[in-house]
Amino acid sequence: MRRNQLMWGVVLLLVGVLMLANSMGVRLPNGKSFMDLFWPLLLILLGGWILFGIFFRGTSKTEDVSIELQGARKASLKLSHGAGEFRVHSGAGLNEYIHATITGGVEQKVNRDGDKLDVKLRPSQEIMGIPFIGSSNQLDWDVAINADIPTVLKLNLGANKSVIDLHDLNITDLKLEIGASETQLTLPAKGRFPVDLDFGAASLTITIPDGLAARIKASLGAADIKVDESRFPRSGGYYQSPDYETAINAADITIDAGAASIKIK
Protein backbone atom coordinates (compact mmCIF):
# COMPACT_ATOMS: atom_id res chain seq x y z
CA MET A 1 0.00 0.00 0.00
CA ARG A 2 1.27 3.44 -0.88
CA ARG A 3 2.27 5.65 2.01
CA ASN A 4 -0.25 8.41 1.29
CA GLN A 5 -3.11 5.88 1.00
CA LEU A 6 -2.15 4.46 4.39
CA MET A 7 -2.13 7.96 5.88
CA TRP A 8 -5.61 8.79 4.57
CA GLY A 9 -6.89 5.41 5.76
CA VAL A 10 -5.74 6.12 9.32
CA VAL A 11 -7.28 9.61 9.25
CA LEU A 12 -10.64 8.32 8.00
CA LEU A 13 -10.59 5.54 10.59
CA LEU A 14 -9.90 8.08 13.34
CA VAL A 15 -12.77 10.31 12.18
CA GLY A 16 -15.14 7.33 11.95
CA VAL A 17 -14.36 6.06 15.46
CA LEU A 18 -14.79 9.50 17.01
CA MET A 19 -18.07 10.15 15.16
CA LEU A 20 -19.40 6.72 16.19
CA ALA A 21 -18.57 7.35 19.83
CA ASN A 22 -20.19 10.77 19.60
CA SER A 23 -23.40 9.42 18.03
CA MET A 24 -23.64 6.70 20.73
CA GLY A 25 -23.48 9.37 23.41
CA VAL A 26 -20.18 8.10 24.82
CA ARG A 27 -18.48 10.83 26.82
CA LEU A 28 -15.05 11.41 28.26
CA PRO A 29 -14.63 11.34 32.05
CA ASN A 30 -14.73 15.15 32.08
CA GLY A 31 -18.07 15.12 30.22
CA LYS A 32 -16.78 16.32 26.88
CA SER A 33 -17.49 14.69 23.53
CA PHE A 34 -14.97 12.37 21.88
CA MET A 35 -15.05 14.73 18.87
CA ASP A 36 -13.26 17.27 21.04
CA LEU A 37 -10.22 15.00 20.68
CA PHE A 38 -10.24 15.15 16.89
CA TRP A 39 -7.85 18.07 16.25
CA PRO A 40 -5.33 17.19 19.00
CA LEU A 41 -5.21 13.57 17.81
CA LEU A 42 -4.94 14.60 14.17
CA LEU A 43 -2.03 16.94 14.89
CA ILE A 44 -0.25 14.20 16.86
CA LEU A 45 -0.84 11.79 14.00
CA LEU A 46 0.45 14.20 11.36
CA GLY A 47 3.51 15.05 13.46
CA GLY A 48 4.34 11.38 13.86
CA TRP A 49 3.86 10.82 10.14
CA ILE A 50 6.26 13.64 9.28
CA LEU A 51 8.90 12.23 11.63
CA PHE A 52 8.37 8.77 10.15
CA GLY A 53 8.99 10.21 6.68
CA ILE A 54 12.21 11.89 7.81
CA PHE A 55 13.78 8.90 9.56
CA PHE A 56 12.43 6.10 7.36
CA ARG A 57 12.73 7.43 3.83
CA GLY A 58 12.47 5.01 0.95
CA THR A 59 15.30 4.33 -1.44
CA SER A 60 15.58 7.17 -3.95
CA LYS A 61 17.23 6.77 -7.32
CA THR A 62 18.92 9.56 -9.25
CA GLU A 63 18.32 9.99 -12.96
CA ASP A 64 19.42 12.39 -15.68
CA VAL A 65 16.63 14.04 -17.66
CA SER A 66 17.36 15.65 -21.02
CA ILE A 67 14.67 17.44 -23.03
CA GLU A 68 15.68 18.26 -26.56
CA LEU A 69 15.06 21.72 -27.95
CA GLN A 70 13.43 20.29 -31.10
CA GLY A 71 14.14 23.52 -32.97
CA ALA A 72 11.86 25.57 -30.71
CA ARG A 73 12.45 29.32 -30.47
CA LYS A 74 10.49 29.95 -27.28
CA ALA A 75 9.18 27.91 -24.38
CA SER A 76 6.79 27.64 -21.46
CA LEU A 77 8.12 25.76 -18.43
CA LYS A 78 6.26 24.68 -15.28
CA LEU A 79 8.22 23.03 -12.45
CA SER A 80 6.39 21.59 -9.44
CA HIS A 81 8.41 20.37 -6.47
CA GLY A 82 7.75 19.08 -2.95
CA ALA A 83 9.98 18.47 0.06
CA GLY A 84 13.72 18.44 -0.57
CA GLU A 85 16.28 20.61 -2.31
CA PHE A 86 15.57 22.46 -5.54
CA ARG A 87 18.01 24.29 -7.80
CA VAL A 88 17.44 26.10 -11.09
CA HIS A 89 20.11 27.77 -13.23
CA SER A 90 21.41 28.09 -16.79
CA GLY A 91 23.67 25.49 -18.42
CA ALA A 92 21.65 23.14 -20.66
CA GLY A 93 23.46 21.93 -23.80
CA LEU A 94 23.28 23.65 -27.17
CA ASN A 95 20.53 21.36 -28.52
CA GLU A 96 18.83 20.85 -25.16
CA TYR A 97 16.13 22.91 -23.54
CA ILE A 98 16.56 21.27 -20.13
CA HIS A 99 19.17 19.04 -18.58
CA ALA A 100 18.28 17.98 -15.04
CA THR A 101 19.51 15.65 -12.33
CA ILE A 102 16.48 14.31 -10.45
CA THR A 103 16.35 12.29 -7.24
CA GLY A 104 12.98 10.89 -6.19
CA GLY A 105 11.36 10.40 -9.60
CA VAL A 106 9.80 12.79 -12.10
CA GLU A 107 6.87 12.93 -14.50
CA GLN A 108 7.38 14.98 -17.63
CA LYS A 109 5.06 16.31 -20.29
CA VAL A 110 6.55 17.83 -23.43
CA ASN A 111 4.49 19.32 -26.25
CA ARG A 112 5.66 21.14 -29.37
CA ASP A 113 3.27 23.69 -30.90
CA GLY A 114 4.82 25.49 -33.86
CA ASP A 115 8.00 27.15 -32.64
CA LYS A 116 6.97 26.89 -28.96
CA LEU A 117 7.94 24.11 -26.55
CA ASP A 118 5.64 23.46 -23.57
CA VAL A 119 7.34 21.53 -20.74
CA LYS A 120 5.96 20.41 -17.37
CA LEU A 121 7.91 18.53 -14.70
CA ARG A 122 6.49 17.26 -11.43
CA PRO A 123 7.31 14.55 -8.86
CA SER A 124 6.30 11.09 -10.05
CA GLN A 125 4.62 10.23 -6.74
CA GLU A 126 1.37 11.88 -5.76
CA ILE A 127 1.70 14.57 -3.09
CA MET A 128 -1.05 14.72 -0.52
CA GLY A 129 -3.00 17.95 -0.17
CA ILE A 130 -1.83 18.49 3.42
CA PRO A 131 1.14 20.78 4.18
CA PHE A 132 4.43 18.98 4.75
CA ILE A 133 3.00 15.57 3.79
CA GLY A 134 4.24 13.99 0.62
CA SER A 135 6.19 11.04 -0.68
CA SER A 136 8.69 9.27 1.55
CA ASN A 137 11.46 9.84 -0.98
CA GLN A 138 13.77 12.84 -0.94
CA LEU A 139 13.05 15.14 -3.89
CA ASP A 140 16.40 16.60 -4.87
CA TRP A 141 16.30 18.43 -8.21
CA ASP A 142 19.00 20.29 -10.12
CA VAL A 143 17.57 21.83 -13.30
CA ALA A 144 19.66 23.55 -15.98
CA ILE A 145 17.78 25.60 -18.61
CA ASN A 146 18.91 26.79 -22.03
CA ALA A 147 19.78 30.47 -21.55
CA ASP A 148 19.11 31.42 -25.19
CA ILE A 149 15.42 30.47 -25.28
CA PRO A 150 12.79 33.05 -24.19
CA THR A 151 10.87 31.28 -21.42
CA VAL A 152 7.64 31.79 -19.52
CA LEU A 153 8.55 30.21 -16.18
CA LYS A 154 6.16 29.02 -13.45
CA LEU A 155 7.46 27.42 -10.24
CA ASN A 156 5.18 25.72 -7.72
CA LEU A 157 7.24 24.80 -4.66
CA GLY A 158 6.33 23.05 -1.42
CA ALA A 159 8.23 22.71 1.85
CA ASN A 160 11.74 22.80 0.45
CA LYS A 161 15.02 24.67 0.22
CA SER A 162 15.44 26.40 -3.12
CA VAL A 163 18.22 28.23 -4.93
CA ILE A 164 16.83 29.77 -8.12
CA ASP A 165 19.48 31.57 -10.16
CA LEU A 166 17.92 33.13 -13.26
CA HIS A 167 20.69 35.69 -13.80
CA ASP A 168 21.75 34.40 -17.23
CA LEU A 169 18.33 33.20 -18.40
CA ASN A 170 15.93 34.79 -20.89
CA ILE A 171 12.76 34.92 -18.79
CA THR A 172 9.77 36.77 -20.26
CA ASP A 173 7.33 36.06 -17.41
CA LEU A 174 7.97 34.63 -13.92
CA LYS A 175 5.38 33.21 -11.51
CA LEU A 176 6.47 31.69 -8.22
CA GLU A 177 4.17 29.98 -5.69
CA ILE A 178 5.94 28.93 -2.48
CA GLY A 179 4.84 27.02 0.60
CA ALA A 180 6.84 26.73 3.81
CA SER A 181 10.28 27.06 2.28
CA GLU A 182 13.62 28.83 2.34
CA THR A 183 14.18 30.38 -1.08
CA GLN A 184 17.00 32.36 -2.67
CA LEU A 185 15.91 33.96 -5.94
CA THR A 186 18.20 35.82 -8.35
CA LEU A 187 16.30 37.61 -11.11
CA PRO A 188 17.35 37.73 -14.77
CA ALA A 189 19.74 40.53 -15.61
CA LYS A 190 18.14 41.45 -18.94
CA GLY A 191 14.70 42.17 -20.38
CA ARG A 192 11.48 43.78 -19.18
CA PHE A 193 9.29 41.18 -17.50
CA PRO A 194 6.66 40.71 -14.77
CA VAL A 195 7.41 38.79 -11.57
CA ASP A 196 4.45 37.43 -9.57
CA LEU A 197 5.37 36.01 -6.15
CA ASP A 198 2.76 34.28 -3.97
CA PHE A 199 3.89 32.56 -0.78
CA GLY A 200 2.98 31.71 2.79
CA ALA A 201 5.24 30.93 5.75
CA ALA A 202 8.48 31.31 3.84
CA SER A 203 11.87 32.94 4.00
CA LEU A 204 12.65 34.66 0.70
CA THR A 205 15.77 36.53 -0.41
CA ILE A 206 15.55 38.27 -3.80
CA THR A 207 18.71 39.46 -5.52
CA ILE A 208 18.16 42.06 -8.24
CA PRO A 209 21.25 42.23 -10.48
CA ASP A 210 23.03 45.53 -11.01
CA GLY A 211 21.63 47.27 -14.07
CA LEU A 212 18.14 45.82 -13.62
CA ALA A 213 15.56 48.41 -12.61
CA ALA A 214 12.56 47.31 -10.57
CA ARG A 215 9.17 48.30 -9.27
CA ILE A 216 8.12 46.38 -6.16
CA LYS A 217 4.52 46.21 -4.95
CA ALA A 218 3.73 44.12 -1.88
CA SER A 219 0.49 42.93 -0.25
CA LEU A 220 1.56 41.53 3.10
CA GLY A 221 -0.04 39.75 6.01
CA ALA A 222 2.14 39.04 9.04
CA ALA A 223 5.25 39.53 6.91
CA ASP A 224 8.49 41.39 7.41
CA ILE A 225 9.99 43.01 4.32
CA LYS A 226 13.38 44.69 3.97
CA VAL A 227 14.18 46.50 0.71
CA ASP A 228 17.43 48.18 -0.30
CA GLU A 229 15.96 51.68 -0.54
CA SER A 230 19.23 53.12 -1.82
CA ARG A 231 18.42 51.33 -5.09
CA PHE A 232 14.63 51.16 -4.83
CA PRO A 233 13.30 54.23 -2.96
CA ARG A 234 9.85 53.97 -1.44
CA SER A 235 7.22 55.95 -3.34
CA GLY A 236 3.71 55.77 -1.91
CA GLY A 237 2.63 52.13 -1.77
CA TYR A 238 5.60 50.66 -3.64
CA TYR A 239 9.36 50.76 -4.15
CA GLN A 240 10.79 51.82 -7.50
CA SER A 241 14.09 52.47 -9.25
CA PRO A 242 14.41 56.11 -10.33
CA ASP A 243 14.89 55.03 -13.96
CA TYR A 244 12.23 52.27 -13.98
CA GLU A 245 10.00 53.82 -16.64
CA THR A 246 12.80 54.29 -19.20
CA ALA A 247 15.14 51.39 -18.36
CA ILE A 248 15.76 48.77 -21.04
CA ASN A 249 16.01 46.09 -18.38
CA ALA A 250 13.34 46.16 -15.66
CA ALA A 251 11.28 43.84 -13.47
CA ASP A 252 7.72 44.60 -12.36
CA ILE A 253 7.51 42.66 -9.07
CA THR A 254 4.23 41.87 -7.30
CA ILE A 255 4.39 40.13 -3.91
CA ASP A 256 1.48 38.53 -2.06
CA ALA A 257 2.72 37.04 1.22
CA GLY A 258 1.48 35.72 4.53
CA ALA A 259 3.70 35.04 7.53
CA ALA A 260 6.95 35.54 5.65
CA SER A 261 10.38 37.09 5.90
CA ILE A 262 11.41 38.93 2.73
CA LYS A 263 14.70 40.55 1.86
CA ILE A 264 15.24 42.39 -1.44
CA LYS A 265 18.70 43.57 -2.38
pLDDT at 31: 62
Residues 29 and 126 in one domain: no
Between residues 221 and 183, which one has the greater pLDDT?
183
CA torsion through residues 8, 11, 17, 22, sign? negative
State percent of the chain over pLDDT 70.
72
The answer to whether the beta carbons of residues 181 and 159 sit under 8 Å apart is yes
Q: Cβ atoms within 10 A of the Cβ of 39, count? A: 9
Please report which confidence band the pLDDT of residue 61 belongs to, taking 50, 70 and 90 as the band edges. Answer: confident
Residues 88 and 205 in one domain: yes
Residues 115 and 178 in one domain: yes
Quick check: 44 pLDDT over 90? no
Q: 15-19, 82-86, 191-195, 211-215 — which is least confidently predicted?
A: 15-19
Residues 30 and 159 in one domain: no
Residues 28 and 111 in one domain: no
As a whole number of angstroms, the distance between CA 48 and CA 71 comes to 49
pLDDT at 246: 96
Residues 66 and 50 in one domain: no
Instruction: Tell me the average pLDDT of the chain.
Output: 83
Give the residue-averaged pLDDT of 215-228. Answer: 87
* Residue at a domain's end among 36, 55, 74: 55
If we measure between CA atoms, which residue out of 264, 187, 173, 184 comes closest to residue 218? 264
Residues 121 and 215 in one domain: yes
Q: How far is CA 251 from the centre of its chain?
A: 20
Give the residue-averaged pLDDT of 209-221. Answer: 92
Residues 78 and 197 in one domain: yes
Q: 104-108, 236-240, 255-259, 261-265 — which is least confidently predicted?
A: 255-259
* Residue at a domain's end among 55, 74, 96: 55
If we measure between CA atoms, which residue out of 76, 122, 127, 77 comes closest to residue 102? 122
pLDDT at 181: 81
3-class secondary structure per residue, the chain = CCHHHHHHHHHHHHHHHHHHHHHCCCECCCCCEHHHHHHHHHHHHHHHHHHHHHHCCCCCCEEEEEEECCCCCEEEEEEEECCEEEEEEECCCCCEEEEEEEECCEEEEEEEECCEEEEEEEECCCCCCCCCCCCCCCEEEEEEECCCCCEEEEEEECCEEEEEECCCCCEEEEEEEECCCEEEEECCCCCEEEEEEEECCCEEEEECCCCCEEEEEEEECCCEEEECCCCCCEECCEEECCCCCCCCCEEEEEEEECCCEEEEC
User: Would strands 96-103 and 139-145 be described as parallel, antiparallel, or unpaired?
Assistant: antiparallel
* Residue at a domain's end among 11, 29, 55: 55
Residues 34 and 66 in one domain: no
Q: How many domains does the chain have?
A: 2
Quick check: 102 pLDDT over 50? yes
Quick check: 25 pLDDT over 80? no
As a whole number of angstroms, the distance between CA 228 and CA 234 comes to 10
Quick check: 57 pLDDT over 60? no
Residues 125 and 243 in one domain: yes
Q: Which tens digits make up the pLDDT trace of 117-143?
A: 999 999 985 443 444 444 445 689 999
pLDDT at 39: 63
pLDDT at 255: 93
pLDDT at 258: 79
pLDDT at 59: 55
Please report which confidence band the pLDDT of residue 219 belongs to, taking 50, 70 and 90 as the band edges. Answer: confident
Expressed as residue numbers, the domain containing 12 is: 3-55
pLDDT at 12: 63
The answer to whether the beta carbons of residues 202 and 194 sit under 8 Å apart is no
Residues 85 and 42 in one domain: no
If we measure between CA atoms, which residue out of 190, 200, 142 comes closest to residue 166? 190
Strand partners, 101: 64, 142
Quick check: 264 pLDDT over 90? yes
The answer to whether the beta carbons of residues 74 and 149 sit under 8 Å apart is yes
Q: Which tens digits make up the pLDDT trace of 134-169?
A: 444 568 999 999 999 999 999 998 878 899 999 999
Residues 23 and 146 in one domain: no
pLDDT at 227: 94
pLDDT at 48: 67
Give the residue-averaged pLDDT of 204-233. Answer: 92
